[in-house]
Structures are given as structure tokens and as C-alpha cells.
Amino acid sequence: MSQLLDLWTVLAVGAGVFFFFAGTVGLLRFPDTLTRLHALTKADNLGLGLVVLGLLPRVGSPLAGLKLICVWLLVLLASATASQLIARVARRAGPPA
Amino acid sequence: MNALPAMLPETTTAGGFLLVLTLILPFVGVLAALTLGGRHARRVAMLAIPLGLVLSLAIVVEAVQTERTLVYLLGGWAPPLGIVLRADGLSAVMLLTTAVILLAVALFAHADFDTPPGTREARRPFMFWTLLLAMWGSLNAVFLAGDLFTLYVALELLGFAGVPLVCLDERAETLQAALRYLLFALLGSVLYMLGAVLLYGAYGTLDIALLAGLVRPEPAAFAAAALMTVGLLAKTALFPLHLWLPPAHAGAPAAASAVLSALAVKGSFFLVIRLWLDVMPGIITPAAGQLLAAFGAAAILVGNVVALRQKRLKMLIAYSTVAQIGYLFLMFPLAAGLSAMQLPNDPAVTGGLLQAVSHATAKAAMFMGAGLIYATLGHDRIADLAGVGRQLPMTLLAFALGGSALVGLPPAGGFLAKWLLLSAALTTGQWWWVVVMVVGGLLTSAYVFIVVMRALVTVDAGNTPKMVVPRHREAVVLALASLSFLLGLAALLPVDIVQIGRPQPFAAGLP
Amino acid sequence: MNLALLFDGMLVVLILAVAVWTVTVRDSFAAGIGYAVYGLLLALAWVRLAAVDAALTEAAIGGGLTSVLMIRATVRLRAGEAAARAATPGPLPRLLAALLGGSVAAGLALVVLALPDPAPTLAPQVAEHIATTGLGNAVTAVLLSFRAIDTLLEAVVLIYALIAVWTLTPDRFWGGRPGPKYETDPNGMLAYLARLLPPIGIVVAVYVLWVGADLPGGKFQAGTLLAAMWLLAIMAGLTEAPPISRRWLRGVLVAGTVVFLAIGFAGVPLAGAFLAYPEGFAKPLIVAIEAASMLSIAFTLALLVLGPPERRDQA
Amino acid sequence: MNVPTLFGLCGAVLVGLGLYGLVVSPQPLRKILAFNLVGSGVFLLFGVVARRGAALGMGGDPVPQALVITGIVVAFSATALAVALVLRLHDMTGAATLAPADADEPPVA
């Protein structure tokens, strides 16, 4: 059982890290603000979510697990808002000449 | 493992609670002024400052009677875990000086910083009185704290109180001066803090008395001494780190300039004394003392020469501060020299501190005098001072007395200070400092003379004053200047207050 | 162990790289962003140094509030940016500055390498006396019992800084409201966030304050959180910064220090010294001080970020 | 090389880097940022001192850890004041440097 949980952690965190990596590459390589945002929000939220899911079986108490999930939700909320604000500014400024 | 020296743990002494009251009173004043607001700020200040004067007098009396350092263990915790407040002779003298000067400044500024009728709260008066209390609180913390980190916080307080005093008047140049002052102050305190960090890393305590017994000549201690000294010099405006001072001090309102020039720079200077004489006397080499005094000598010469070339009275007085700060640093090689000769270093230490007190009183009087001249004439151009002697006789007399105190004519405090320093220089064979002091004195007398002569010229034409200054404001300035002029009589006192609680001469010094 | 060292090595390289970028990048706005990243990385370093309290403070204040302050300022200074860049010193001053910085860094590195082993520490003394405070968090015990005067003076520092900032108010705006009036879409995303987040933030802040007695946390971290929530509501246009002349505001600003002083002086007759706590009552008194200070700290920090009043108080 | 020493060296470099920035940046805002770098380097060194003093189950000497918290708050206050000054100066003169008065004088430090 514990080996199964270990395997789950390795897989989930590994996948999360992959999404982080992909998001970072996207941030650096994509041509304009909107596509970069796309890379960031999609990949980061998924990445963080997978990391949290992977760590969940390893926490000591249900409270600690709840805290982890709260962290994920708060980050989702904050990054959604921030990207929306950035996107609005980018749209108002128009596409780069 | 934690090799603290085998000394008896300190305990709270009789009168120790006075230190707590002296430390907290100004802060309570700041809080009260902020909460009550408006014209209450001035009332709070006028109430708290005399009370503080009484407290500091009580501390001096207690120290003289018991002939030992007053100590208070905060929270009942002894160092190294806890923090103590200590008041030795040096602290007691500085506390008293601060209270006296603040009282004079408060009386002088009473009319200037009045909330206009019909307003509940006006920025300038409200902030002036609050900041005056704030400055006082930070100085008291500097003089009383026995812990290097508490002193760091106190230094920051000093900067936060001083910077806004500089730009009380909304002008671009005062804001610029304030910004530069702040940057220097921040750089100074961060370097000081870095030194304290290294000392804790090496010795595991921040308490001054414990460190004194632990510090050994090794890299951490040398680095700490260098960093802390440079940081404090930037805050004290010792040449060549002095450039922020003249515009900052000259641009402030007269009462604020008086506080800044007389007291604010003395806070960091006081810490240099603490550091060099109390925390790490064993590792300060004679060459370091000579170097510090060389900067002091350069400050004396450059400051005085530049002062001579100023066209505005307030700038002249501000540059004179640069020079007078230089004198303060002559005490270090002399004290080290005396210690090296197995002689008590009292003359140098007392001389240095007396110079600080003498300059504080004289300079506060001179800045306030310049403020009255500005108010009367509507300008402070030195070339156009004619007629001031007739309009403001007491102020001019005060200026002359303060000037003679700076020059060092007997019986001024400056005379006694320079006498002690000169004799220490001759005893230790360091004649070059004698030359510096004599040349500096000549230059100082030149610009004091020029100002007084210009002001004594009478004009027949109808030179109507912009504003008639009430006599009592002149009287305050004259009283402070006279105090400075008569300070030399301190030599007649039965005890040398400064020496109370100082380590025995032979324990310190070189091996 | 080696894996840990590898991780730490990468972290150090990253921190230094971001720091270099922050100093050298041409655009000040970018430097502000860089500093935010730097603050967060530094918070990681604090975790690696087993100083979680410091990590929380660094993340909240260094990474959070300082960056907000900086980024807001760079936006306002945009206009003068090009002119300022032209004043960049030439190669020789830069070389001298590099020599200065380099030699200080080298000297410090030598001192770090020469620090005594075993290191002197006060941890045993703290462990010996912490029982008298009833606290589980040694850092809180140091801040509020052994070295309470530092914490008291620090509260005064915050008040001094706010007084200093307010001194910069233009005379015509004295008593007015700090910061610009934020107009945002009341149905927009930011307003939505500003309605949703503060209740959560307040709960978290109270939690951080409460556990601070025994676990990492305390009034600074909690106060910063509250300040952030308030700033969010202000910047989303949901509420306005209060006029600085308000009595209640002044009262809240000094409340923490007043409570601290009152309990400190009560210690003189009850516990034998200023800032001492009567036996058995240390923990509740400390929590009381922390709770009052949290509010004062929150308001002071937020007002420090907002700066001096910039407009009259229209009722 | 152990972990505290590594971060200690990092702190030393940060102090040096910050001092460099303090001297060469013409904009006061960048000087303030550099000052914050110096400050955080100093605090990091203090954290290293704390970590080295770990004993009796404590991950570090709590005294320096507590002082760092105080220090961070003090540094923030200083930054807030400095930024307010810069902005006020800018509003009044439109200047974004200390240059006019600096022209004939050496820079800070």
C-alpha cells in the first residue's frame, strides 16, 4: 500500500514538475503577452494542482491536507485575477507593432 | 563553549527605574501628540520636556552621589539573553544636555509653530512638535541602550525623526537634502548592523559590557569595527562623508536646524565613543586612531575654509558644524596615546565629550540666532547684515558668545575642551594635532569676527525690520549661548561626571 | 545530504542571478518585478536556514509589500526614466564601485569562513528560560519577553516612519486621504477578488497570530496579511483610504504600543520589572499584546504603502 | 562546504552587489532597491549565524532569528519613507535623479 502511495506521489509530482517546465518554456519562448499568459496559467495551475495531489497522501493530518488544498485554490484565484488584469491591459495596448 | 567572561551578573541599581522613565517619556509624548493631534502636540511637548529635564537631572545627581553606572534589567532578564539600560557619566551628561537644549528650542519655537486660529490641525506645527519629541526619544534610546541591536533600532529612530525635520518646509531643495540625508543614514545603519551581526557570530552576545570582555583581535572583530565605524561616520557627517549635512541643516527651519546640528549628529558620535572606548578598546590600533583623527583634521580645515566662503549665514553655521565635528574625533588618538603610556585617558575623553556638549549648546544658540536674524531682515545674506547689532543686540551678543565658545576662548566650554585635548596631545607627543587645533581656531575666529563686524555696522537709512522679534525669544538664545560660554567652569566642579562608570585606565588600552 | 546541498547551491545561484539582474536591468519597472521574485526566493533560503518565522516575514514584507511599493513608484516615475538613465556613471566610477563592492564581499566571505566552530549561541539559555513564558515558539519568546524592548521600539519605528511620510503631505491636503482614488469596474475581476479574498485573509491572519505563540507566525506576519487585504479592497475601489486626521485612525495606530506599554509598566509592581510578566500570566498577556499590535501594524503598514495624503477629504 | 556557509557566502555577495548598485544607480529608486539588497544580505548573514547556533532541538539560535524579523520590518519602514520622498520630489520638480545637486560631488558611499 505504502509503495503504491509512493508511486502515486512520484508520478503526480513528476507530472506537475513537467507542467511547470512547459509553462516556463512557454513564458520564455512565446511571442506575445496573451500567448505567454496562456502558457503560464494553464500549465502552472495544472502543475501546482498535480504537485498538491501528489503530496496529499503524505501529510500527517487532515488539517494539513486541507491547508494544501487551500493553497492551491488561493493560487488559482490569484493567478486567474492577475492574468485577467494583465490581459486587459495587453488588449487595451493593442498588439505589439 | 560559550565562553562568557567570569563576571558577576549585573543587577538593577538604585535609581535604575529613572532610566526606564527617561527612555519611555518621549515615546509616550509622541503617541499622545499623534492621538490628540492639532494644537495639543505643542502642549504635550511643553509638558514632557521640562519633566524630562527633571528626570535627567535626577539621573545625574544619582550617578554623582553613587559614583557608579545606573543599570536597569529590562523584564528582569540579565544579558546576554536580556537587555539592560545603562547610564554612566557619559550618558548622564548627554541626557542632560539634550533635555536642556530641547527646552531652549521649545521655548524659542513656541510662537513660530503655533496652529493658526480656526484650524484644527496644521501640518507644520503639528509635525514639528511631534518630531521634536520623536528626536528626543531616539536620542535617549541611543544614550541608554546597552545592546548593539537596540542601538541599531535607536539609530534608525534617529534618522526617521531627523529626515522629516529637514524637509518641514516644502521646497524642492529641502526634499532633495532630506533624501540624501536619508540615503546616508540608511547606508550608515545597515553597515552598523552588519558589524553587529559579525560580532554576534563571533561572540554570541550583543551586550556592550559583555562584548568588551570577549572581543579579541581577529578578523571578525576587525571587520565589525571597520564596518560599524564607517557606518557611524556617515551618519555623523565626518569628512569626507559630510556632503549631506550643510544643505540638510541649513534648509530646515531655524529651530529644526538647531536640533539637527546640535543633537542629531551627536547620537552617532556617541556610539563611536562607545564602540572605540568601551566595546573594543583592545583591538583598536593606534594607527586607526590616527586615521580617524586625520579625517577629523581634514574636516576642521575644509569645513572652516568653506564656511569662510559662504554668503549665507545659515550655510556658514552649517559648514562650521562640519568643522566642529572634526574636533570631536581628535580625542581618539589622544585617548589611545595616553592609554599606551599607562596614563589615565580622562583628559582626552572628558575633553572630547565636553567639546560635544559645548558645540551642541553653542550651535543651537547660533542657529536660533540666525533664525531671528532671518525673521527680522527677511534674508540671511552675510554681506547685508548691517544694522542687526542695533535691532537684535541680544542675538548678536549670543552669536558672539557662541562663536567664542567654538573658537575656544576662556572660560567657554570649548576652551576647557581644547585645553584638555591640547594637553593630552602634548603629553603624548602628538604635536601635529596641536597645529590643527590652532589653525582651526584661527579660521573659526575669522568667520565669527566677520559676521559680528558686519552686523555691528550701523545704517542711517530707514531699515525697517520685516518683523519685530519678541525679546523673550532673544533671551532664550542668549541664555543658551551664555551657558555654552560658561561651560568651562565645569572644571571647578568637584567630580568629573564624565568619568563615572568608566573602566579603569589600565584595564583598557594596549597589552 | 549532497542532494540537499545541490538544491541549496541552485537556490543560491538563482538568488544571485536575480539580484544581479535587479541591479543591472535598465528598466526600473523590471527591477521592481525582479525584487519581488528575489524576495520570494529569499524566503525559500530562510526556510532552508530553519528560520520559518523569518521566511514568512520576508515573503510578506520583502517580497510583498516592498515590491508593491517599488512597482507603484516606478509606474509614477516612468516619465523621468529616460533622463535618469542618461545620468548613468561612466566606466571608471563603475569600476571603482565594483572594486568597493567586490572587496567588501570578499572580506565578508573571509569572515564567514573564519567564524568560530562550534558557534556561540544563546539557544541553551532560551531553552532554559522559555518555560517561564509558557510559549512554544522560541522566536516569539525572544521578541516579546527576553528582548521585549526591541519589539516595543520597533513598533515605535513604524509610527515614526508613518509620521515622517505624513510630513511630506502638501499643506493643502493635510488631513486628507492618502493615495489616489482608485476607480475600477465594480463588476470586474479585481473587485470580485477583493470581495472574496478578505474574509479568507482575515481568518488566515487570526490563525497566524494565534499559532504564533507556539509555531512560526505572529503579529508581523498576521498584520502584513491584514494590511494586504485592506490594500486590495482599496485598490479595487471597494473602499477608500481614511483621512489621516480621523481620531479613530490615530487611536488604532497607537493602540498596540499603548497596550504594550501598559502591560510593561504593570510588570513593575506585579512582576518586579518593566516589561516583565507576572508568573503564570505571561502567555495570555503576550497574546493580548500581539493581538493589539497586529491591528496597529496592519494599519501602519498599509498607510506606509499608500504614502502621504494626495487629495482632500470629500465627505 | 556546508549549507550555512553556502548561504553565508551568498549573503556576502549580496552585500557587495547592493553596495555596487547603491553607488552606480543614478535613480534614487534604484538606490533604494540596492539598499534593500544590502539589507537582505546582512539579514541573511544573521540567519546563517542563527543556523550555526542550532542546539537542543532548535533549528537555529532564536535570538538572531527574532532580530531578523525586527530588521526586516525596520528596513521596510525605511523603504517606505524613502519612496515617499522620491515621489514627492518628483511631483515637485519632475526630476527622477539626485543629479542636479550631485553634479560637482561624488555619489553616495
Q: What is the pLDDT of residues A38-48, one digit of tens each?
A: 888 777 788 89
Cβ neighbours for D31, distance < 8 A, ≥ 6 positions apart: B183, D21, D22, D25, D108
Q: Measured between CA atoms, how close is C189 to chain A, in angstroms?
A: 6
Give pLDDT, residue B461.
59
Q: What is the pLDDT of residues B203-256, one digit of tens each?
A: 999 999 899 888 888 888 999 999 999 999 999 999 888 888 888 888 889 999
Give pLDDT, residue C132.
84
Give D106: exposed, middle or buried? Use CB within 10 Å, 0-12, 13-18, 19+.
exposed
pLDDT over 90, % of chain A: 14
C–B contact (≥3 CB pairs within 8 Å)? yes
Strand partners, B86: B71
Q: What is the pLDDT of residues B326-376, one digit of tens each?
A: 989 988 888 888 877 877 777 888 888 888 999 999 999 999 999 999 888
Mean pLDDT of chain A: 85
Q: What is the pLDDT of residues B40-50, one digit of tens each?
A: 999 999 999 99
Chain C CB contacts of D45 below 8 Å? 108, 112
DSSP annotation of B410: T
Show which subunits contact C, needing at least 3 CB pairs below 8 angstroms: A, B, D
Q: What does the pLDDT average to over C298-307?
A: 94
pLDDT at B189 over 90: yes
Give the amino acid at C292.
Answer: A
Chain D CB contacts of C5 below 8 Å? 1-3, 6
Contact B439, B301 (CB under 8 A): yes
Q: What is the pLDDT of residues B270-280, one digit of tens each?
A: 999 999 988 88
Q: What does the pLDDT average to over B112-140?
A: 90
Q: Measured between CA atoms, how close is B119 to chain C, in angstroms?
A: 11
ipTM, interface predicted TM-score of the complex: 0.92
pLDDT at A61 over 90: no
Q: Do C54 and D20 touch (CB under 8 A)?
A: no
Q: Do A85 and C189 touch (CB under 8 A)?
A: yes
Sites in chain D below the pLDDT cut of 70: 1, 95-109
D101 and chain C in contact, CB less than 8 A: no
Q: Do C80 and D97 touch (CB under 8 A)?
A: yes
pLDDT at C241 over 60: yes
pLDDT at C110 over 80: yes
DSSP helix, strand, coil percent of chain B (3-state; round to 5): 75, 5, 25
Q: Rounded to 5 degrees, what are φ and ψ at C217?
A: 145, 180
pLDDT at A80 over 50: yes
CA distance to A28, A76, A82, C209, C223, per residue, from C202 (Å) = 36, 19, 21, 10, 10
Strand partners, C311: C177
C129 and chain D in contact, CB less than 8 A: no
pLDDT at B8 over 60: no
Which of C28, C66, C172 has the highest number of chain D CBs within 10 A, making it the mutation to test binding with D?
A: C66
Q: What does the pLDDT average to over C221-249?
A: 91
Mean pLDDT of chain B: 87
pLDDT over 70, % of chain B: 95
Report for B5-14, B444-453, C259-268: range of highest mean pLDDT: C259-268
Distance between CA B488 and CA B365 in Å, rounded? 17
Give pLDDT, residue B5.
45
D83 and chain B in contact, CB less than 8 A: no
Chain D CB contacts of C35 below 8 Å? 33, 36
Q: What does the pLDDT average to over C285-306?
A: 93
Q: What does the pLDDT average to over C280-303?
A: 92
- Among chain B residues, the shortest Cα distance to D70 is held by B153
Q: Do C268 and B137 touch (CB under 8 A)?
A: no
Distance between CA B303 and CA C262 in Å, rounded? 47
pLDDT over 70, % of chain A: 95
Q: What is the pLDDT of residues B454-463, one digit of tens each?
A: 888 877 655 6
C92 and chain D in contact, CB less than 8 A: no
Cis peptide before B240 (omega within 30 of 0): yes
At C126, list the grid cell.
532560551
User: First and final CA of chain A: distance in angstroms?
Assistant: 58
Q: Do A81 and C200 touch (CB under 8 A)?
A: no
Q: Do B35 and C175 touch (CB under 8 A)?
A: no
Give B419: exposed, middle or buried? Use CB within 10 Å, 0-12, 13-18, 19+.
middle
Give pLDDT, residue D95.
60
Q: What does the pLDDT average to over B180-201?
A: 94
Q: Measured between CA atoms, how close is B185 to chain C, in angstroms?
A: 14
DSSP string, chain D: --HHHHHHHHHHHHHHHHHHHHHH--SHHHHHHHHHHHHHHHHHHHHHHHHHT-BTTBSS-HHHHHHHHHHHHHHHHHHHHHHHHHHHHHHHH---SSHHHHTTSPPP-
Give pLDDT, residue A33.
82
Which of B150, B170, B200 has the highest number of chain D CBs within 10 A, making it the mutation to test binding with D?
A: B200
Domains of chain D: residue spans and CATH: 3-98 (1.10.287.3510)
Q: Rounded to 5 degrees, what are φ and ψ at C178?
A: -75, 155
Contact B71, B10 (CB under 8 A): yes
Q: What does the pLDDT average to over C156-175?
A: 92
pLDDT at A13 over 70: yes
User: First and final CA of chain B: distance in angstroms?
Assistant: 25
Q: Measured between CA atoms, how close is D78 to chain C, in angstroms?
A: 7
At residue C176 the predicted structure's pLDDT band, cuts being 50, 70 and 90, is confident
Q: Measured between CA atoms, how close is C160 to chain B, in angstroms?
A: 6
Q: Measured between CA atoms, how close is B307 to chain C, in angstroms?
A: 29
pLDDT at A79 over 70: yes
From the list C190, C196, C197, which residue is nearest A85 (CB)? C190
Give pLDDT, residue B462.
55
Q: How many inter-chain contacts (B to D, CB under 8 Å) are there?
A: 88
Give pLDDT, residue A1.
66
- Among chain C residues, the shortest Cα distance to B198 is held by C111
Q: Rounded to 5 degrees, what are φ and ψ at D39?
A: -60, -45
Give pLDDT, residue C306.
92
Question: Is the Cα dihedral C90, C93, C99, C104 positive or negative?
Answer: negative
Mean pLDDT of chain C: 89
Report for B455-459, C3-7, C203-207: range of highest mean pLDDT: C203-207
- Helical axes B471-486 vs B393-407, angle rounded to 10°: 20
